[in-house]
């Protein structure tokens, strides 16, 4: 078993793996095909074998399919896994309808999640994002009640503003903040990250390769059918100029003997001991490269090159990660 790095979730939270396994892509969320279930289960189990115990899922990933998949993978080895579950999103026929964060809904959601996962307690439970339909205090207060009941161990939040984060933490201590963050999406450095650090909240980052932009595999122009074309970041001159910056990343990766995606993950990991890259995988073949990314170190010059090339605002155009 590889000696994986650890991160502490919050001031009084548990030690978990500093590399998180995102399980979303193991299910059909937006109506696409479902990956091979046996391979997905094997991927989770091999991750656990290698000390990656932070498993991230959502009750709306594949209408419960993802939770059932995770449940099968951890059967007989519950103590090896730390289960993070997002709730609150409502889908129908693969289409996003909105959120339901009412206390009565949350108390309903969790019982289905526990049943699908085949466990008695969810380690980290978090609203997938906030809206203005339900007061933050009511949402967080309901999760606090579930913690007192023993159905949840720790509170997490996701896609949240600084004011909402402060309010949530005042109701009950927040252990982890899940948020999109990468070299190409650094807006949260101005406000949200300082508040999270002030409050001692761990940062769980998804979209570390900026929806594929930082993999080095994207070429302009994209096919008209590519979903990326819905966002101006991936359109016309914006994409051309953004990919010019990615060339710097690709050259640095070549010089160090890694892939651009590994460098992107390593940059997030290097932001501090309170950052966890959450990487989506559905194949065992992806595990070695993503684990290797966690051991990449940068010289001061390399970090300067990355931080100046991808300074906040350097990537042109909008994406759903814009806040």
Q: Does residue 247 fall inside a structural domain?
A: no
Q: Residue 286: pLDDT above 90?
A: yes
CA-to-CA distance for 239 and 235, rounded, in angstroms?
Answer: 5
Could you confirm whether 61 is annotated as catalytic?
A: yes
Q: Does residue 319 fall inside a structural domain?
A: no
136-148 pLDDT, tens digit each = 999 999 999 999 9
Q: For residue 173, what pLDDT is reported?
A: 97
Q: For residue 257, what pLDDT is reported?
A: 98
Q: Residue 172: pLDDT above 90?
A: yes
Decide which of 280 and 229 is more confident: 280
Domain that holds residue 52: 6-211+259-297
The domain spanning residue 14 has which CATH number? 3.20.20.100
Query: How sure is the predictor about 32, in pLDDT bands with cuts at 50, 70 and 90?
Result: confident
Q: Residue 1: pLDDT above 60?
A: no
C-alpha distances (whole Å) from 133 to each of 110, 124, 143, 147 are: 20, 23, 17, 23
Number of domains in the chain: 1
Q: For residue 96, what pLDDT is reported?
A: 86
Q: Does residue 223 fall inside a structural domain?
A: no
SS (H, E, C) 56-83: EEECCCCCCHHHHHHHHHHCCCHHHCEE
Q: For residue 31, what pLDDT is reported?
A: 66
Q: For residue 2, what pLDDT is reported?
A: 63
Average pLDDT over residues 51-56: 98
* HSE-up of residue 14 (Cα within 13 Å, Cβ side): 15
Q: For residue 85, what pLDDT is reported?
A: 98
Q: What is the pTM of this model?
A: 0.95
Q: Does residue 267 fall inside a structural domain?
A: yes
Q: For residue 30, what pLDDT is reported?
A: 67
16-29 pLDDT, tens digit each = 999 999 999 999 87
**Pick from 11-15, 47-51, 84-88, 293-297: least confident:** 11-15
Q: Does residue 64 fall inside a structural domain?
A: yes
Q: Does residue 88 fall inside a structural domain?
A: yes
Q: Does residue 307 fall inside a structural domain?
A: no
Q: What is the mean pLDDT of the chain?
A: 94
Q: For residue 225, what pLDDT is reported?
A: 85
Q: Does residue 89 fall inside a structural domain?
A: yes
Catalytic residue among 61, 125, 154, 181, which? 61
Cβ 208 vs Cβ 277: under 8 Å = yes
Could you tell me the sign of the dihedral formed by the alpha carbons of 47, 321, 301, 195, in that order?
negative
């Amino acid at each position: 078993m590889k000696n994986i790095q650890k991160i502490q979730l919050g001031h009084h939270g548990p030690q978990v793996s500093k590399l998180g396994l995102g399980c979303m892509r193991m299910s059909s969320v937006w109506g696409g095909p479902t990956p091979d279930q046996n391979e997905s289960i094997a991927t989770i189990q091999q991750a656990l074998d290698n000390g990656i115990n932070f498993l991230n899922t959502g009750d709306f990933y594949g209408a419960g399919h993802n939770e059932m998949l995770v449940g099968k993978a951890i059967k007989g080895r519950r103590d090896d896994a730390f289960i993070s579950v997002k709730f609150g999103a409502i889908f129908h026929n693969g289409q996003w309808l909105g959120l339901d964060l009412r206390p009565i809904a949350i108390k309903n959601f969790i019982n289905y999640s526990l049943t699908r996962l085949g466990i008695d307690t969810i380690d980290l439970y978090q609203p997938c994002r906030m809206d203005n339909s339900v007061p933050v205090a009511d949402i967080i207060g309901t999760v606090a009640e579930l913690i007192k009941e023993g159905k949840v161990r720790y509170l997490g939040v996701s896609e949240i503003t600084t004011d909402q984060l402060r309010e949530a933490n005042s109701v009950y201590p927040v252990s982890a903040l899940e948020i999109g963050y990468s070299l190409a999406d650094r807006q949260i450095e101005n406000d949200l990250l300082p508040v999270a650090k002030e409050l001692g909240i761990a940062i769980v980052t998804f979209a570390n390769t900026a929806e594929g932009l930082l993999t080095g595999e994207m070429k302009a122009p994209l096919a008209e059918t590519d979903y990326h074309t819905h966002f101006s970041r991936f359109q016309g001159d914006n994409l051309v100029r953004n990919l010019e910056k990615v060339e710097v990343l690709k050259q640095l990766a070549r010089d160090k003997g890694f892939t651009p995606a590994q460098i992107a993950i390593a940059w997030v990991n290097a932001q501090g001991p309170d950052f966890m890259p959450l990487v989506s995988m559905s194949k065992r073949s992806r595990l070695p490269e993503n684990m290797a990314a966690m051991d990449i170190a940068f010289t001061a010059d390399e970090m300067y090159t990355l931080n100046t090339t991808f300074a906040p605002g350097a990537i042109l155009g909008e994406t759903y990660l814009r806040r």
